[in-house]
């Protein structure tokens, strides 16, 4: 057995001190908002990747002046999780990755809590660990969750107890074995992607207050206020009506602030000091290892086509490294399974998608939700098949991409889309087919293309709701539960309400912050579903309010409601040409003749939306009538240069085009395209690194590099395609995540065009490219 005492992030205190400490000004601001009774929390984290917890001794910590309480796993014996309840808020019997939270210290200052955290002694019995998802599925791999068979799980997730497999999605279509002999060309490969971090500028932070009355309030930076309320209430036995989650604007999310991570720790800590709010803030190091990351992936993929270049068969196995908990990640593997062909029509498919426990940080939602990972290999194979057949890569994609009405891999009919138009726009934007000269003799220039699809990955019945109510001056308050992450959700909600009501956009206000006590329900702000789902709910609420107004005026004027309309905040009659301003009447109503009574009253519109048509998929074949609500499709093309002396890549231009159904706000679509191009390009060069014991090697912004303005493409070009979606507001569909799905393979294809070298593993570091060039010169 090993005895190990560690600091809150498994690093030296001096390393923690390098991070921005709580200043007097910050503490003053906290006091203004939460009062002088505010306490601060710090977490004690495991320094082992896999170990049994033999003993926790907090006696020395509790003697530190200012320390109010210490909490451990014994205070949280109920598991928590979105799709699979597989983790405790604080580790109970064992730790499963370096950074697993084993205790929490509550004190009068963050410095005091941090000091006391160093004094907590944790005795461990180290266990064998496994870090690679393929190794983790082997029969002799150490079991990370021996009790997997006892975990509560939703009906569409299929764990395999007795193994490290938390989800196995099977896709079977046609007869691949019979199709392979008919293929004129076959390409297969193994592709690897590492874990990467979301790197929000604002780290995770939460303040929780557990009042003696039993009322609990959680203030947090969250994409999922209602899901957090639901999951934390279930785990801690709090009536849902007693738990209030308040979430202001989020300073960066992209999936990292979806579901529950450290927020539940803050609530447990607040329970230990009832009546005092407790603030828990992640340091940058903790943000890297103690929240969530994008899962790793090992993909074995084989695809073949006939002599005319038509795709015939595909076989693929995806092993997602889900980390220590797969409670959210299981649905990523499922989504990858039912979309495993990428945006292509392939008549014969065998796909197996696994989510696998490993002893690394927790894999969860990140922008793209499994699609960037699987497209990395698919889109490179498509280029190789095109090369073998002597077909232009763009033309090969036009020929084989999914089209409206196709019966796709799950048996579902493809809703209306126009992916060919997206391909045409990006190839035109970068002068596809035109050979360009590099800027210097030691540089080589290349162009690459990749296409994508993505469906909102979610349960079959996620709901949205909205309330529209008027003020006396006819300004409008729109109440929603969707969160503003910087993507423009509030702007879209205001636009939808204004258009449906017939009032100027400037009259509309969005009620914020999101507050589960007062805001109407929204499942989560994830899956690029908000413009579509929330938009439908807001439109319905506005139309409800509009109908109430028109009914009142029709009765007041004695006219047919069909002849009335609302334009620029006034009710107008196409028959009598009368006008009635909304001002005052939307609150006070309208008087009867000679003021003998009144009609109407305060106008409040209610709306909701929930898809009702998504069906189950057969667990053995993945076949079903309607696997998903819809897909968004798009294309990207890249023009770049590679410095052959250093291996550095400079992106000269990225062109992107997406079929958004209807662009509610074209400027916001373009900002998504621009931001996605940068983040997608950055993801091609990022990687979380660990040593052989699972210790993080680059959990800070010094050693983990993300793309900056210096590295960004010189030019980012965007195009919008509009093929209306059958059930979107005015035909709109989401485009938030899609904009970075295919960027990495587009870059890889362009590098191959420049150098003639293929890279199957990310990241595309300058060192890796330089060494490959050296090997190429030897040959």
Active site residue ranges? 737
> Which tokens in the block code for residue 168?
């196995």
Degrees (nearest 5) of the Cα angle 132, 136, 137?
130
CA distance 411 to 345: 11
Cα 662 to chain centroid distance, Å, stands at: 22
Contacts of 716 (CB under 8 A, 6+ apart): 653, 654, 656, 673, 674, 677, 678
Neighbours of 665 (CB within 10 A): 16
CB 331 within 8 A of CB 339: no
In a 10 Å sphere around its CB, with 0-12 CB exposed, 13-18 middle and 19+ buried, how is residue 418 labelled? Answer: middle
Q: How far apart are CA 506 and CA 493, in angstroms?
A: 12
Decide: 351 and 300 in contact? Cβ < 8 Å. no
The two three-digit tokens of residue 523, written as one number: 């499942």
In terms of C-beta density within 10 A (0-12 exposed, 13-18 middle, 19 or more buried), how is residue 521 classed? middle
Percent helix / strand / coil, the chain, rounded to 5: 30, 25, 45
Helix (H) or strand (E) segment spanning residue 323: strand 311-323
Residue 150 has a CB neighbour count (10 Å cut-off) of 11
**Residues 346 and 313: beta-carbon distance below 8 Å:** yes
Write out the H or E segment, with its range, that includes residue 649: strand 649-659
Smallest CA-to-CA distance from 40 within 116, 92, 97, 94 is with: 116
Q: How many CB atoms lie within 10 A of CB 528?
A: 25
Task: From residue 451, give the alpha-carbon distance in Å to each of 113, 309, 415, 515, 680.
Answer: 50, 17, 17, 39, 13
List all residues 6 or more positions away from 369 whose beta carbon is below 8 Å from its beta carbon: 255, 331, 332, 335, 454, 457, 526, 527, 737
Residue with tokens 């010169």: 777
User: Rounded to whole angstroms, how far apart are CA atoms 59 and 42?
Assistant: 16
- At 419, is the secondary structure helix, strand, or coil? helix
Q: Strands 649-659 and 715-721, how do they pair?
A: parallel
Q: Phi and psi dihedrals of 479, rounded to 5?
A: -105, 125
């Amino acid at each position: 057995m090993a005895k190990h005492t560690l600091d809150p992030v498994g690093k030296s205190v001096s390393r923690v001190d390098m991070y921005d400490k709580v200043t007097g000004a910050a503490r003053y601001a906290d006091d203004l908002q939460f009062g002088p009774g505010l306490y601060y929390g710090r977490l004690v984290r495991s320094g082992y990747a896999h170990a049994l917890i033999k003993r926790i001794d907090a006696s020395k910590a509790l003697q530190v002046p200012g320390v109010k309480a210490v909490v451990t796993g014994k205070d949280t014996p109920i598991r928590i999780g979105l799709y699979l309840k597989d983790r405790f808020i604080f580790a109970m019997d064992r730790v499963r990755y370096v950074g697993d939270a084993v205790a929490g210290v509550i004190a009068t200052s963050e410095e005091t809590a941090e000091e006391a955290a160093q004094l907590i002694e944790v005795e461990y019995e180290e266990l064998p660990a496994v870090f690679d998802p393929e190794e983790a599925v082997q029969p002799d791999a150490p079991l990370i969750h021996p009790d997997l068979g006892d975990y509560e799980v939703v009906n569409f997730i299929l764990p395999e107890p007795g193994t490290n497999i938390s989800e196995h999605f099977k896709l079977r279509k046609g007869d691949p074995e019979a199709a392979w002999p008919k293929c004129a060309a076959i390409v297969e490969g193994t592709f690897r992607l590492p874990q990467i971090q979301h790197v929000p500028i604002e780290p995770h932070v939460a303040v929780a207050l557990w009042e003696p009355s039993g009322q609990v309030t959680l203030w947090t930076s969250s994409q999922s206020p209602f899901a957090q309320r639901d999951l934390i209430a279930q785990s801690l036995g709090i009536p849902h009506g007693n738990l209030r989650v308040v979430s202001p604007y989020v300073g960066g999310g992209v999936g990292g602030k979806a579901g529950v991570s450290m927020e539940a720790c803050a609530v447990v800590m607040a329970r230990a000091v009832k009546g005092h709010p407790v603030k828990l803030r992640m340091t940058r190091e903790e943000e890297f290892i103690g929240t969530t990351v994008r899962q790793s992936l090992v993909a074995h993929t084989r695809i073949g086509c006939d002599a005319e270049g038509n795709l015939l068969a595909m076989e693929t196995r995806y092993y997602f490294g889900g980390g220590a908990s797969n409670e959210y990640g299981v649905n990523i593997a499922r989504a990858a399974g039912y979309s495993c062909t990428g945006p292509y029509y392939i008549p014969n498919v065998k796909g197996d998608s696994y989510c696998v426990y490993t002893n690394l940080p927790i894999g969860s939602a990140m922008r793209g939700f499994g699609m960037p990972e699987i497209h990395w290999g698919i889109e490179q194979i498509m280029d190789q098949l095109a090369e073998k057949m002597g077909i232009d890569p763009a033309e090969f994609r036009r020929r084989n991409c999914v089209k409206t009405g196709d019966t796709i891999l799950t048996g579902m009919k493809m809703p209306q889309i126009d992916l060919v138009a997206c391909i045409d726009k990006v190839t035109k934007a970068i002068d596809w087919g035109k050979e360009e000269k590099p800027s210097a003799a030691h540089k080589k220039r290349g162009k690459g293309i990749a296409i994508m699809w993505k469906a909102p990955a979610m349960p079959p019945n996620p709901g949205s709701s909205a309330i529209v109510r008027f003020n006396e001056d006819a300004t409008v308050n729109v109440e929603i539960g969707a969160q503003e992450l910087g993507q423009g959700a509030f702007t879209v909600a205001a636009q939808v309400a204004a258009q449906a009501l017939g009032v100027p956009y400037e009259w509309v206000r969005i009620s914020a912050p999101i507050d589960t006590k007062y805001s109407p329900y929204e499942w989560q702000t994830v899956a690029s579903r908000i413009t579509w789902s929330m938009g439908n709910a807001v439109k319905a609420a506005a139309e409800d309010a509009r109908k109430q107004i028109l009914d009142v005026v029709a009765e007041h004027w004695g006219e047919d409601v069909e002849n009335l309309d609302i334009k620029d905040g006034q009710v107008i009659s196409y028959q009598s040409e009368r006008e009635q301003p909304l001002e005052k009447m939307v609150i006070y109503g309208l008087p009867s003749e000679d003021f003998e009574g009144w009609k109407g009253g305060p106008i409040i519109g209610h709306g909701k939306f929930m898809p009702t048509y998504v069906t189950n998929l057969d667990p053995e074949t993945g076949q079903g009538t309607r696997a998903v609500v819809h897909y968004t499709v798009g294309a990207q093309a890249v023009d770049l240069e590679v410095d052959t002396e250093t291996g550095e890549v400079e992106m000269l231009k990225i062109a992107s085009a997406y079929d958004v159904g209807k662009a509610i706000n074209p400027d916001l679509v373009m900002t998504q395209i621009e931001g996605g191009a940068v983040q997608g390009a950055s993801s091609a060069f990022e990687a979380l690194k660990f040593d052989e014991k699972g210790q993080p090697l680059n959990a800070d912004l010094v050693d983990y590099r993300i793309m900056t303005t210096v590295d960004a493409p010189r030019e980012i070009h965007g195009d919008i395609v509009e093929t209306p979606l059958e059930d979107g507001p005015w035909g709109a569909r989401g485009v938030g995540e899609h904009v970075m799905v295919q960027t990495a393979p587009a870059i890889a294809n362009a590098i191959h065009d420049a150098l003639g070298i293929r890279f199957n593993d990310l990241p595309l570091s300058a060192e890796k490219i330089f060494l490959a060039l050296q090997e190429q010169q030897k040959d």
